[in-house]
Structure formats: structure tokens, C-alpha cells
Amino acid sequence: MQTLAQALAEKAVPDSLTHLINTLAATSINISQAVRRGALAGVLGSTDHENVQGETQKKLDVITNDMLKDALAAAGNVRALASEEEDEPVICSDSGDFLVCFDPLDGSSNIDINSLVGTIFSVLPAPEGDVSEQSFLQSGRKQVAAGYVLYGAATMLALTTGKGTQLFTLDTDRNEFLLTQDAVSIAADTAEFAINMSNQRFWESPMQSYIDDLLLGKAGPRAKSFNMRWIAAMVGDVHRVLCRGGIFTYPTDSKNPNKPYKLRLMYEANPMAFLVEQAGGSASTGYQTILDIEPEAIHQRVAVILGSANEVATCLQYHK
């Protein structure tokens, strides 16, 4: 099997970007070890603080955020970073080719029950001159790399540099990622969906109608039965889509009028949309292709519908 370094070399990924991806991969291995030790390392439970999202931080949220901050600052080719756990962008160096956006531990509500969590990252080109929040506000089409690391029964890395999506598995004996699936391809059709059904009464009518028709199964207009899966961690639900198809959505809802969307554009929706599109799938808000959105803020939230291309297209028909 190819190592991560060999796979990047085969795709002719530039040296500077290869160095950054290797930095992210190495840090994720350390995060994996912290997650795996759990209560033995005293990293479970919550802190007394909230992040900029108004969410109570888990201890591992803070630990993993600091691990990534330190590693990216030491990398030498990262100008600045933006994180779910940071109010403002963090300047890393006076020079460097890249900006990095990340969610250090997606699904952190799953930590204390030993369920799936992961790290999501997005790499953008750094502009010339001084760096500010405005520097990060580039559409998802500008990403030069994106991926996630899933901390599950095995630790897996999903990665794209714009030349397809690949899956790597951590070999714990060698302590490095090995290529285990090249050229991931998402089936265009599916009979599986992922959504938080507890919010059904708060969805817009198009999404309610779409899900209602799925639940009618063979007796309904779709004329086939659908299964529902929900992990409550985007990284886990998207991983399932990459592995066996499906549609994942966290749609607009009215539960909190001040926060109609759940997922963050810059470090959740954009990197996942890049991975999915590179695997032949589609990603939309219901009204706009995610990768075409011009961001207005680093913590901007959006609705997300992504996965098998034909099923996403069917869902979007309800939104017209």
C-alpha cells in the first residue's frame, strides 16, 4: 500500500502543500491517541467556557484546538488559521502560502459516549500582504486541499487536493497513513438518508415534503423504501456517504430564529462539499451550490444537502 507521502507525490502535489498535509496528518495521529485514551488521560467532560458559537467547550475541543494551532504555527508555511474554537483568525507567521480553517473535533457531543468524532480541515491560498478575516472569505472553489480525519474503530483520513478523493487508514504499527481506497466514487442513486428527525416540525415545507415522501417508502411517490441513519457528527455521516452513498442534510430550521442554520460554511460545509464533489456527488444549500457561496464571515452558517448526485437533485426539485 502507498503511504500518504507516496500518494501525494503520485498526484504531483506541490512540496509546500505536501508539507502542510503531512503536518495535519501527523497532528491528527496525536489527536487520535488522546481520543483513544479518553478517561484514562482525563480528557473527557466539559469546561466552564463557551466558544464563539455559544457552545460549551469539551475538554478535548480545547486540547485538539491547541494541538492544531501549535502544529500549524510551527509548520512555517501557514500564514493564519481560523477555527471553530477561536473568535478571530490567528496569525501564524509573516509569510506562508496557506490559510487553514478547521473544526478541531467535530461531533464533540459524542466524546463522552465513545462515539464517532473527527477533525475537518480546509486549505486556502494565502493572499499577498497583511492577513485579516477578509483574507479567509474565499469561495470553496478556491480550496487547494480539504479533508477530515475520523477517529473511530480505525482512524481514517479522507483527502482531496482537487484530483479526486482518497481514503487512508492509520497503520498503528507504523504510525502512518496508508492508502486504502483510491478514487472514491459515490453512487448516484441511493436508498439511505441522514437527518436529525427531531427537528422535523421546524423545517421549511420543501424539506418536510421531501422527507415525508421518503418515509412513505414503496407506497409513496418514490416507490422504494429508504433507510435512515444518523450519527450526530457530520464527519461520521459524510464518511458513510463516501463509503456507500446516501444523502446527508442539515437543513434550514426555525427552532432558533437567530440561528436558522447549524453547520459552518468555512470549516464544515466547504471542505465536505469539496470531498463529495471530487467523489462524483453533489452539495447544495437547497438553493445554491455550496462551493459557489461567497463567504461573509469565518463563522458563517449554512444549510447543507450533500451526497449521491441523483438523490440531491431530487431533493432540490422540492425546493424549486
Residue 168 in this model has a pLDDT that exceeds 60: yes
Tell me, letter by letter, the H, E, C secondary structure of the chain.
CCEHHHHHHHCCCCHHHHHHHHHHHHHHHHHHHHHHHHHHHCCCCEEEEECCCCCEEEHHHHHHHHHHHHHHHHHCCEEEEEECCCCCCEECCCCCCEEEEEEEEECHHHHHHCCCEEEEEEEEECCCCCCCHHHHCCCHHHCCEEEEEEECCCEEEEEECCCCEEEEEEECCCCEEEEEECCCCCCCCCCEEECCHHHHHHECHHHHHHHHHHHCHHHCCCCCCCEECCCCCHHHHHHHHHHHCCEEEECCECCCCCCCCCEEHHHHHHHHHHHHHHCCCEEECCCCEHHHCCCCCCCCEECEEEECHHHHHHHHHHCC
pLDDT in tens, 91-108: 999 889 999 999 999 988
Whether 127 contacts 153, CB under 8 Å: no
- 187 Cβ contact partners less than 8 Å away, ≥ 6 residues apart: 244, 245, 308
268 annotated among ligand-binding-site residues: yes
pLDDT at position 112 is 78
Query: Max alpha carbon distance in the chain (Å)?
Result: 62
Average pLDDT over all residues of the chain: 93
121, 24 Cβ separation under 8 angstroms: yes
Whether residue 103 is annotated as binding a ligand: the answer is yes
Is 40 marked as binding a ligand? no
pLDDT of res. 45:
58
Beta strands at 78-83 and 98-106: parallel, antiparallel or unpaired: parallel
Between CA 189 and CA 17 the distance in angstroms is 34
Write phi, then psi, for 297 (nearest 5 degrees): -160, 155
Q: What is the pLDDT of residue 107?
A: 87
Confidence tier at 162 by pLDDT (50, 70, 90): very high
Res. 41: pLDDT tops 80: no
**Cell numbers given for 52:** 464563539
> CATH 3.30.540.10: which residues of the chain?
4-181
pLDDT over 60 at 18, yes or no = yes
* Highest mean pLDDT pick, 83-87, 108-112, 313-317: 313-317
C-alpha closest to that of 19 among 123, 91, 105, 94: 123
Per the annotation, does 192 bind a ligand?
Answer: no
Give me the phi and psi of 154, to 5 degrees please. Answer: -120, 150
pLDDT at 56 over 60: no
Q: Which residues have a Cβ under 8 Å from the Cβ of 72 and sit 6 or more positions away?
A: 23, 24, 78, 81, 92, 100
Is the pLDDT at 52 greater than 80? The verdict is no
Residue 21 identity (one-letter amino acid): I
Predicted local distance difference test score (pLDDT) of residue 57 = 63
Q: Count CB neighbours of 147 within 10 A.
A: 27
What CATH code is assigned to 192-318?
3.40.190.80
Residue 128, marked binder: no
The C-alpha atoms of residue 49 and residue 295 are separated, in whole angstroms, by 27
> Distance between alpha carbon 206 and the CA centroid of its chain, in Å?
25
Question: Is 11 within any annotated ligand binding site?
Answer: no
Q: Is 84 annotated as a binding residue?
A: yes
What confidence tier does 110 reach under pLDDT thresholds 50, 70, 90? Answer: confident
Q: What is the model's pTM?
A: 0.94
- Known binder of ligand: residue 108? yes
Q: Please give the share of the chain, as a percent, with pLDDT higher than 70.
A: 93
Which fold does the domain 4-181 belong to in CATH?
Fructose-1,6-Bisphosphatase; Chain A, domain 1 (3.30.540)
| Range of weakest confidence among 37-51, 105-119, 127-141, 255-269 | 37-51
Flag whether 105 is marked binding: yes
Name the one residue in this structure whose C-alpha cell is 417508502: 217
pLDDT tens-digit readout, 65-82 = 999 999 999 999 999 999
22 known member of a binding site:
no
**Is 60 exceeded by the pLDDT of residue 47?**
no
